[in-house]
Amino acid sequence: MKPALELRGVEFAYPDGREALRGVDLTIREGERVALIGPNGSGKTTLALHLNGILRPAVGSVIVAGIPVEEPNLVEIRRRVGLVFQDANDQLFMPSVREDVAFGPANLGLSGHDLDARVESALQMVDGTEFGDRPPHHLSGGEKRRAALATVLAMEPEIIVFDEPTSGLDPAGRRELIGTLASLPMTQIVITHDLPLALELCPRSAMLDRGRVVADGSTPDLLDDSVLLAAHRLELPYGFTPSGPSRA
């Protein structure tokens, strides 16, 4: 499979001097689902914001489907890479979910039947047709997450980046969202502290700490390594073992 995404020696520091990324090398191939795991402050969200040009590296390069993430290419990059933020309210601001889902494609010039078909397809992909005409603030937490995902799917991206997709969800909402993510065919990058989610959804994980990739491999192998997890301030839920009977 061809690389969907390549980061080569990416370094980035915030204006206050804090180094967030320190030479990140990472390649993700088409159709992969990869979890980005690591402690708070490890650089996971900063890395995600480099993937469609919201942030730009001081050193190194980010390449999406062979296209450098640089100023002349940002419109095309942002069509290919969709971000689903941790707070769904950041992506839902119209009077109805359907209008939110239509917003992006309409700004690309889609209208009429083509726009309606795009919106309906995105809502169907998240099992959201029943709440398409409701105001976003009337939705449950899980419904909001699926609605926010629909706004991204309507842009027909090749890569979707999720930032803590299950944060704050109740068990039913979490299960519904996992089912939705598992059904999507495109390349997915899942930033998460939910290690059981990483195990269930992502065959591969990359672990970040202090702005560097400190481990990259099979998710079961990484989560079975208690020494590795402890060294990087990660912990499985009590009673949960990646290969044992307690795995949900």
CATH class for the domain made up of 3-88+159-231: alpha beta
CA 49/CA 166 separation, integer angstroms: 19
Q: Are strands 212-218 and 204-209 parallel, antiparallel or unpaired?
A: antiparallel
The pLDDT assigned to 1 comes to 75
The pLDDT assigned to 238 comes to 82
Which residues make Cβ contacts (< 8 Å) with residue 222, sequence separation at least 6? 37, 205, 207, 215, 228, 229
Distance of CA 164 to the CA centre of its chain: 8
The pLDDT assigned to 241 comes to 81
Rg (CA), the chain: 18
Residue 244 burial (CB count, 10 A)? 9
Q: What is the mean pLDDT of each run of 10 residues along the chain (248 residues)?
A: 94 95 97 96 95 95 96 93 91 95 93 96 95 94 94 96 91 91 95 94 97 97 96 91 57
Domain assignments of the chain as residue spans, ordered by start: 3-88+159-231
The pLDDT assigned to 187 comes to 97
The pLDDT assigned to 168 comes to 87
The pLDDT assigned to 244 comes to 55
CB-based contact 208:233 (threshold 8 Å): no
The pLDDT assigned to 82 comes to 95
Among candidate residues 25, 188, 44, 219, the one with its CA nearest the CA of residue 229: 219
CB-based contact 30:4 (threshold 8 Å): yes
